[in-house]
Amino acid sequence: MNLTYFDNNKIPHIVEEYFELSFSDSSVPFQSLILPLEFTNITHIIKGDQKSVFRKKETQLEDLMLSGQFFRSYQFIVNSESKSFGISFHPTALYKILQTDISKFENKHVLLKDYNTDFYNSISTVLKSSNSSKKISQKLSVFFGTYPLKTDKNTEHIDNAIKQIKAKEGLLNVGEIVDELLISQKTLETQFKKIVGLTPGKYIRKYRFLKLMKKYQSQVINLKDLIYMYNYYDQSHFTKDFTLFMKETPKAYFKKEYPLIKKYLKE
């Protein structure tokens, strides 16, 4: 298994990261739990048999897949030598690009061509223009740098909400965001879900858990201290959230090896 990241070339308001994920013959079959990050994604499956399983529903991953916001983990399965190139978007970028309600993709991997043929054709040309992932990332940055984005007062509010959540590492509540933005909670809830793909409450809860897990995997601070740093009242409160996101208890999780999770949480 090999996971490589590429420079987003100064378009962080659109792309958080580009990555290439590959599996050699000797590393398959491969199966792993996936803890979803705070992004939406478009992934080009270049070759190989890849699948995801969420709530017992199996999805074949092929061609160009659009992945919405996932609130809970899912299974990732690779059955043959495989290579894919992925784009992780800033939380509001996919809405600005596709100009559609992103919440309809929640907890889903779908074929991009089934939802936006024009964008599929445009980005597919770039993704399939080279065998070099580095060159593709450079071409994509030019592509996105000139792509027309839908922006308005609502996207501005949600961008500012995301900045607050990141700055406080998820250690805030929806009311604090409302007070800062001077908008109603109903407006925030409605627009955040449409633009980002999750309610602000769910996104904050996931973001906080991700920050804790990243610090743990990087061995910055021990787990017990992290639990209290991220405002979990006690061990049982943390265990409840951990089981929600990971679908297994901390005790069961830490007994296993998840090299892919460890790799992308450390990057």
For the residues 138-150, what does the mean pLDDT come to?
A: 96
Query: Is the pLDDT assigned to residue 261 strictly greater than 80?
Result: yes
What contacts 144, CB < 8 A, 6 or more positions away? 11, 14, 15
Please write the tens of the pLDDT for every residue from 186-195.
999 999 999 9
- Kindly report the number of other CB atoms within 10 A of residue 101's CB atom: 12
Domains contained in the chain, number: 2
The whole-model pTM stands at 0.94
Q: Are residues 27 and 136 in the same domain?
A: yes
Q: Which of 128, 145, 162 is the last residue of a domain?
A: 145
Please write the tens of the pLDDT for every residue from 65-77.
999 999 999 999 9
For the residues 245-267, what does the mean pLDDT come to?
A: 89
Q: Are residues 212 and 80 in the same domain?
A: no
Highest mean pLDDT among 20-24, 221-225, 228-232: 20-24
Across 131-163, b (16+ Cβ under 10 Å) vs e yields eebeebbbbbbebbeebeeeeeebbebbbebbe
Domain that holds residue 195: 153-266
For the residues 209-215, what does the mean pLDDT come to?
A: 92
CATH number at residue 250: 1.10.10.60
Q: Which of 98, 118, 145 is the last residue of a domain?
A: 145
- Residue 235 has a pLDDT of 85
Q: Are residues 174 and 256 in the same domain?
A: yes
- Residue 234 has a pLDDT of 79
